[in-house]
Structure 1
């Protein structure tokens, strides 16, 4: 990052970007170098442009909003658990108080206990469900509000957490209610808690593609990925899976994002940009895919008389 004059800084402000000198008025140099990597393209250009700053603000707002919802739902769950525990403790205190004061004899206590056991037997499934839900919410706690998860092959975002149920928002904005006792038995994939995630793109090219063109393809893909350090990890692999029907070669490009798939829209946009770049590389290198020659059967039809025909 370079230093510019005060007039150039003012011009930069009018053009809609923030430079290092603007931040040095309020922050230390070490803090400035810590902040710049948070904004896309700021390290390379030495400027924080308006769109990058706007994206950072939106991202920060979404993160804080999800955190606020998570804390609120956790507080609600704790309050519900507190009420349940208070009811149990109240019953125990009443029983002990009656025994201490002599108002309840052992016979009365036996009758009362037997009634409690009867009630517990009648509602054993409910008690089991409540206990399992408490274990799921407070011990396992596999997700928070706002996390993007996959359950039963369906991708959903956690909308609300309670003691007994969790509310999810599906990709089409449909709300789905899951009992926590059921979620306890299911495998749950959590995107937010995952590290930088990978992606795979399947490609089919003509088997006649030369080795030189294939190496040029690998080099062009490498140059593009290295030119996008904010989007892609430089480590990638182009694998040849198989040759099919002696005319097409199936490839798989394995890449790694510099993010997990929590922000699925951003992930899809990056992947779309990569696929479009692959298309341009194929055009530049003349790499194409041709179908094998197909057999075509022609039939000659002669019309005879009034509606009759022969072939």
Structure 2
């Protein structure tokens, strides 16, 4: 059964033509053609130009020889005589030669620009890069100009005689030339944005990354010289760095309990290393010819690049470098160690390598610091690659949108060339665009806002740690209209439109330099100024100690931030880290270390908490007393207190009364009710008598 898209395995090693049995190989003519085409740009263009040019020159030679140079006319009507056929072939020949002429000129243009303009300003290199990327578009522009001008010059009389095909073709050529100018402008804008963005975002990062990898290659080469590959001191690290079959086979051999099972694995590993040595021989030959190490897989540069691809191999590389350079008995790497190993010839490189790794600038490098720096180099290399890919995709999308606009403009250009009523055409087009603007207003606003946000403001790159509205996130992917983030608190992926981010306050932690941190501590109101100064001296001693100087800067600030309601003092403590907070694990470790030291110092001074400072209960100045009572007295006291509390309620619950007391309370309530009733009846009788006396009174008696 044959699977679609799969090629059957061939019996012979050589590739052969299907159903012929002939091997696919170049003959003498093919090899000559390949040599000529690959020799230089000029020879390659000559191969393309000369054959077609000879074919186009045949009519130019045959027509004069046969006496028909000016007697074969094209498109004659009435008294108007069309142009001769000879001029048409002459124009085609000129157009063909001008095409390749402008391509050669466009190829030389960036070099000439750098030669003449580079003397004036060194910042013109980016414009030379733009010209190099616009070679094809520049060729199309000047070819359209040359074709249009030569056609107008050769067929000027026919155009004045209103020969229809001449007039129409000249209009087409003119419209094509103007459209090519618009296309050139569009491509130039895209290239300028791309080159400027690359210089601003990636150029320095790429240079720094390449330089750091070169220095790591020097250190690794010196390490291999001191301790050969797969020696017993660094066998484990070398297996991880090489990431080859030896590590996998060695693990399997270690799990096997059969005696001698590791021997075949070692044999296979030795075969693999022998194959690597053979590859290295050919790689050395290629390096001698090209001056590069990419063809040599065993060169220090190639091994370092491969090791930086994974975190595990990066850590193994850092351990090998650090342990091979540090002298026995020391727990840190110093500049003289690197200079001693590299030798006097590489003194400048040794100093540069030490400064690149010693990011805290404290004069020594610990193993943890070495591992962290090498891992960061690998992450930075990946972030640059991902960022360039995302920006390339965003520029491609931006280019496609602009190409659609160029297409619309080209349509109007052709209409203006073929339509005499240009104002009517512009008015119609303006009305159509105005009606469409109401439909695509929001989309256009989002597109333009996203372009300005991404290419002009450029607040972050791929891999940056940022903070938006109090939420810290990592930048995963950048697109033209949106950005993908990963929240650091929940590892949740979020996609946010760039037009929304355009109006938010973005704090870029990765781009920040050394960051500081301020926090408040509430202490007792009785704390004196002398105690605060003692705390300052204690914490300055902590941050300036050798084991902590690589984490914190020597500057330490402490002051009273407020007295609150005269019940406590608020101390403002400020510490300065020697790096930013891009690596949250490092920041948390440093902060925990500082907090523990602060707690110890507060107890040592001592500085007490709010409300503290008094003698504890039972102390000499704050004695406590106790009284012993009988159980019966305690029970009666509790019952008495409960009854008093219940009696004070608006509606007593009588939960603590005996049956006799409850009965007596009911009798008292009935008596009180009867007393209140007799008072009511007596009062109402008095009101009735008064009313009757008023009603029986005769007004005439007055």
Aligned mates of 1:211, 1:96 — CA distance in 2: 81
Q: What is aligned with 1:232?
A: 552
Among 183, 198, 201, which residue is 2:516 paired with? 198
Structure having the higher Rg: 2
Alignment correspondent of 2:131: none
Within-5 A mapping of 1:252-263: 252-263=572-583
Q: Does 1:284 align with 2:604?
A: yes
**Which of 583, 590, 594 lines up with 1:274 in the alignment?**
594
Superposition deviation, residue 130 in structure 1: 0.8
Instruction: Indicate conservation of the 8 Å contact 2:325/2:341, yes or no.
Output: no
State the Cα distance separating 1:241 from its structure 2 match.
Answer: 2.1
1:139 to 426, 442, 456: 456
Ranges in structure 2 where 5+ consecutive residues have no aligned partner = 1-225, 228-322, 618-633, 643-653, 658-702
2:447 alignment partner in structure 1: 130
**Bigger strand share:** 1
SS of 1:77's equivalent in the other structure is: helix
More off after superposition, 235-244 vs 180-189: 235-244
Cα-to-partner distance string for 1:51-105 (whole Å, 9 max, x where unaligned) = 3322111111222222222111111111111111111112222332344355998
Question: Residues 260-302 of structure 1, C-alpha deviation per residue, up to 9 Å, x if partnerless?
Answer: 222233222211110011112223334333636899xxx9634
> 2:501 corresponds to which residue?
183
Deviation at 1:215, TM superposition (A): 2.7
Contact 1:9/1:21, CA 8 A, preserved across alignment: no
SS of corresponding position for 2:523: strand
Gaps of 5+ in 1: 1-5
Corresponding residue number in structure 1 for 2:280: none
User: What SS does the aligned partner of 2:535 have?
Assistant: helix
Aligned to 1:86: 403
Q: Structure 1 stretch 276-285 or stretch 11-20: which is displaced more?
A: 11-20
Q: 1:23 to 1:102 in 2, by over 3 A?
A: farther
Over 3 Å counting, the alpha-carbon distance change for 1:106 and 1:30 in structure 2 is: closer
CA distance in 1, matches of 2:420, 2:586: 69
Pick from 296, 301, 304 the counterpart of residue 638 of structure 2.
Answer: 301
Residue 3 of structure 1 corresponds to: none
For 1:153, the equivalent position in structure 2 comes to 470
Structure having the larger proportion of residues in helix: 2
CA contact (8 A) 1:202 1:252 kept: yes
Cα displacement (A) at 1:219: 0.9
Shift of 1:240: 1.4
Matched position secondary structure for 1:204 = strand
- Shift in Å, 1:117: 3.1
SS at match of 1:288: coil
Q: Quote the residue 1:70 is aligned against.
A: 387
Retained in 2: the 8 A contact 1:208–1:247? Answer: no
Q: What residue number does 2:289 align with?
A: none
Q: Per-residue deviation at 1:238?
A: 0.8
Partner residue in 2 for 1:61: 378
How far apart, in 1, do the equivalents of 2:363 and 2:556 lie? Answer: 22
Tell me the TM-score normalized by structure 1: 0.80
Q: How many residues align?
A: 298
Partner secondary structure for residue 233 of structure 1: strand
Aligned to 1:220: 538
1:118 to 435, 439, 442: 435
- Alignment RMSD, CA only? 3.7
Query: What's the secondary structure of 1:261's corresponding residue?
Result: coil
- 9 and 78 in structure 1: CA distance in 2 versus 1, 3 angstrom threshold: closer
